[in-house]
Amino acid sequence: MSIFNSLSCSIFVALVLIGEAFLLSRAQDPSRLSLSYYSKTCPTAQDIVRSEMDCAVKTNPRNAAFMIRLHFHDCFVQGCDGSVLLDDTATLIGEKHADQNVNSIQGFELVDKIKEKLEAACPGVVSCADVLAIAARDATILVGGPYWDVPVGRLDSKTASVDLANSDIPTPQQPLATLIAKFLEKGLSVTDMVALVGSHTVGMSRCVNFRERIYGGDFQLTSKNEPSSQANLAKLKDVCPADGGDDNVSGMDYYSPTVFDNAFFETLLQGSGVLSSDQEMYSSLLGFQTSRIVDKYWADAALFFKDFADGMVKMGNITNPQGGEVRKNCRFINI
């Protein structure tokens, strides 16, 4: 009898532990994302993010660029799971150390601020990964870009991976075939890639990321000596000396770096894209498909907007199959 009792007790304890583990760390299936996920548990979630973003973008329009890029760097590593937001601890090395992130991605304090407001309204409900997805959409609208409905219900990871961040996030030096392969690996098409890179219509690049292009002869090669390109090259050289000034910045869209429009694609038509990876989409010998898409987006801003919105939803649907939790503080996993 006592053996039976202790056995049933062990089974009970095991079941409770499994149940708790399940509750604390739910698996993530992309089909779980829905537009109404927080409609009962946090009906004001979208309004809270929007009003914080409104204020932040009015104060500094580059905050919009920060949020769009953070969402991208989050989704390309383990899926959109807030892993990019994690700080180092004794047992975790954050993705902030990855080559494409270090000294580069920004906006963490803004995420903290939004999350604090959400925690005050609905504690433990809205994930950090969803904060990034909603904030990236709001950022886009606030600087003049398209609206899209953001499916929500993502979970936050309990892990981060610097190695995956180093291998999966594209770099500005990579050739077109590698860039395309990196997007295809994530289930994103060539059209998705060109449309999403179109977000370089806002924000800045550091000199260290385009020095080689402007002094190595590549820029002159693609620009075919058009006067506007020569003027752009001179501007870039002013910002970015051959030596030093690594962190000096230039807009990737010379004309309107704080407005979400299709002017970025014109820079590619002129051969004066700031990043080599951007120009590759128009000038690479393998760019027959991408250059046609660039032409179309320059001719038709509405098409660019539509494809960008669709691409952001697709990218946002990359979930982390490991599942996770709703972090209380986006920088640390829950204790």
> Residues annotated as binding site for substrate?
170
Closer residue to ligand HEM, CB minimum distance, 42 or 204: 204
**97 in catalytic set:** no
In the block, tokens 């752009």 appear at 232
CB of 51 to ligand HEM, least distance (A): 21
Q: How far from each other are the two terminal CA atoms of the chain, in whole angstroms?
A: 39
Question: From the annotation, which residues make up the binding site for Ca(2+)?
Answer: 74, 77, 79, 81, 83, 95, 201, 253, 261
Rounded Cα distance, 285 and 140, in Å: 32
Closer residue to ligand HEM, CB minimum distance, 66 or 282: 66
Rounded Cα distance, 94 and 91, in Å: 10
Q: Which residues bind ligand HEM (CB under 6 A)?
A: 62, 65-66, 68-69, 72, 104, 106, 170-172, 179, 196-197, 199-200, 202-206, 209, 275, 277
Question: From the annotation, which residues make up the binding site?
Answer: 74, 77, 79, 81, 83, 95, 170, 200-201, 253, 261
Which three-class secondary structure state does DSSP give residue 209? helix
CB of 59 to ligand HEM, least distance (A): 15
Cα dihedral sign, 319-322-326-329 = negative
Q: Which of 73, 137, 158, 182 is catalytic?
A: 73
Closer residue to ligand HEM, CB minimum distance, 153 or 172: 172
CB of 93 to ligand HEM, least distance (A): 20
Q: How many CB atoms lie within 10 A of CB 112?
A: 16
Query: What angle do helix axes 190-197 and 301-316 make, rounded to 10 degrees?
Result: 110
Q: Where are the alpha helices (DSSP H) in the chain?
A: 2-24, 45-59, 62-75, 108-121, 128-142, 162-168, 176-185, 190-197, 211-215, 218-223, 227-239, 263-269, 276-283, 288-299, 301-316
Closer residue to ligand HEM, CB minimum distance, 128 or 180: 180
CB of 86 to ligand HEM, least distance (A): 20
User: In the complex, which residue's CB is closest to ligand HEM?
Assistant: 203
Which residues are tagged catalytic?
73
